[in-house]
Amino acid sequence: MAKKKEDEEAGNGSMTKADAVRAAVAEGVTKPQDACEWIKTKFGIDITPQHFSSYKSQQAKKEGGMTSSGKRGRKPAQVATGGGVSGGNERSSSPAELARQVKALVQQYGAENVSDMLAVLSD
């Protein structure tokens, strides 16, 4: 590494690929294919579009332009509110709760439809 440091101090330091990518992004050349051609003509450095994208994303992470995790987590579990209609697998604790559930059905489907549902159940 001392050799590189001495070259830079002497003024004939070579540009790294990462430096070339930073220069391309600073010039507004952000598409990988175009940037690779620009870097080749400007600095004479061969770089693949994949390497360009990798350097570019690493630089964006360092600058805070991207989050460290690209995946979103699970959706939070829905909490039962008690206002909805139960699935039928549990028993209600009181007649008042049953009345609230019937009221919710009436609001959702209408009184006539709920009456028809009860007629089907009574048969």
Which pLDDT tens digit goes with each residue over 87-122?
555 665 788 888 888 899 999 999 999 888 888 888
Give percent of the chain with pLDDT exceeding 90. Answer: 24
- Two tokens, residue 96: 């008042």
pTM of the model: 0.43
pLDDT above 60 for 23: yes
Beta carbons of 21 and 52 less than 8 angstroms apart: yes
Can you give the residue ranges of every domain in the chain?
A: 15-63, 92-123
Work out the mean pLDDT of the chain and round it to a whole number: 79
pLDDT at residue 94, rounded to an integer: 86
The CA distance from 68 to 64, in Å, is 9
pLDDT above 80 for 85: no
Which pLDDT tens digit goes with each residue over 1-17?
455 544 444 444 678 88
Distances (CA, A) of 7 to 18, 25, 31, 40: 18, 25, 31, 22
pLDDT above 80 for 60: yes
